[in-house]
Amino acid sequence: MIDRRTVAAFLATALLFGGTFVAAKGGLEYFPPLLFVAYRFDVAAVALGAYVLLTRSRADLIPRTRGDLGGIVATGLFAIGLTNALLFVGQQHVTSGVGAIIASLNPILTPVLAAVLLADERLSARGAVGMVLGLAGVVLVANPDPAAFGAGGFVGEGVMVVSAVCGALGSVLIRRADADLSSTVRVAWGLPLAAIVTHGLSLAVGESPAAVSWTPHAVLALGYVALFAGALAYIAYFGLIDEVGAIRANLAFYVVPLVATFGGWALLGETVSLLSVVGFLVVFAGFAVIGSESFARPGLRDTLPGRLLASESLRSIDDAYATDGGTDTVAGRARSDCRIDGDGSGCHADD
């Protein structure tokens, strides 16, 4: 039986990150973009720092190796810091749907960069087809007006593409670091670094706290991106990576545009086409292709979560760009397999 916490973490990741594009679009009316994301990291760092202090032992919190330090830098500078700074800057120039589409390049870019930087791993042909199909569905879900692309001289789109590249590169660099710290602790260390980087960028471009308009809507937008799409989303997302691996966790980014598009429609007055329904089905068709490799239990094979969590094609490439700090051991994968196929080799029968 599929672990309900895993399914809940996947849905929470998609919902919380999807709301980021709506909250960012609304919050940018009140904040300079880089200062907005810097304040986001300030609040999220305090919240997540308090969480790990309450839930982790001191020994689990201390970076002890070069890999730990490298993982923290890759997380704070690339995977979180530059990724989100560029996302918020680019979001000024694009709709929520277009922004979500570009962010959904992450599952495509990650294995490409991993193939270059981690040359011992390759993406399977079937996995590549499924990911491209999922991306096509993302485009249909968001259904942006073609005129929205390039409306600002492609400035917004270009900045957000660089943001997606930074996020994918951060994931690969984290894998190369081979840290011993858990994902959540690594993020708790990385958030203050991300805050320092974004505050520095904000000062460098001349943004001022005096430019912030502190209204109830501004506080609500900041609270969402910091606490819900920040601390809580990071706990869900990086916990999901620990549980099922990087690629299966990153499939949540194919659901994010659905949340962002309908959130933009409900809260910001952005339009949604009937093609969104078709796109939603295409996204799930992509999931089915990615997870269509055979595995033991027929009952699970016919379910989308089963395809997501038990795909041999995904399991074969997870290690290329896992961001779980090197904690996905052979024994850990065996335990995960036994949750899906209790009759498999190496699994103990229930008493």
* Residue 87 predicted with pLDDT over 80: yes
Residue 45, domain member (yes or no): yes
**pLDDT of the residue at 117:** 78
Residue 12, domain member (yes or no): yes
Tokens found for residue 130: 């499924």
Q: What is the per-residue pLDDT across 209-250, written as a single tens digit (0 to 9) for each?
A: 999 999 999 999 999 999 999 999 988 887 776 677 666 777
**pLDDT of the residue at 137:** 74
- What is the tally of structural domains in the chain? 1
pLDDT-derived band at 1 (thresholds 50, 70, 90) equals very low
Residue 86, domain member (yes or no): yes
Q: What is the per-residue pLDDT across 63-72, written as a single tens digit (0 to 9) for each?
A: 999 999 999 9
Residue 347, domain member (yes or no): no
The range of the structural domain enclosing residue 15 comes to 4-340
User: What is the pLDDT averaged over residues 169-188?
Assistant: 87
**pLDDT of the residue at 290:** 63
Residue 350, domain member (yes or no): no
Q: Which residues of 1-19 are buried (b: 16+ CB within 10 A; e: fewer)?
A: eeeeebeebbebbbbbbbb
**pLDDT of the residue at 308:** 44
Nearest one of 72, 112, 312 to 197, comparing CA atoms: 72
**pLDDT of the residue at 120:** 52
DSSP per-residue string spanning 87-143: HHHHHTTS-HHHHHHHHTTHHHHHHHHHHHHSTT----HHHHHHHHHHHHHHHHHH-
* Residue 337 predicted with pLDDT over 60: no
Query: Which helix (H) or strand (E) covers residue 312, if one does?
Result: helix 312-315
**pLDDT of the residue at 135:** 73
User: Mean pLDDT lowest for which of 127-131, 251-255, 275-279?
Assistant: 275-279
Single pTM value for the model:
0.71
Residue 227, domain member (yes or no): yes
Residue 224, domain member (yes or no): yes
Residue 346, domain member (yes or no): no
User: Mean pLDDT lowest for which of 75-84, 206-215, 280-289?
Assistant: 280-289
In sequence order, the 6+-apart residues with CB closer than 8 A to the CB of 174 are 71, 74, 75, 79, 186, 323, 325
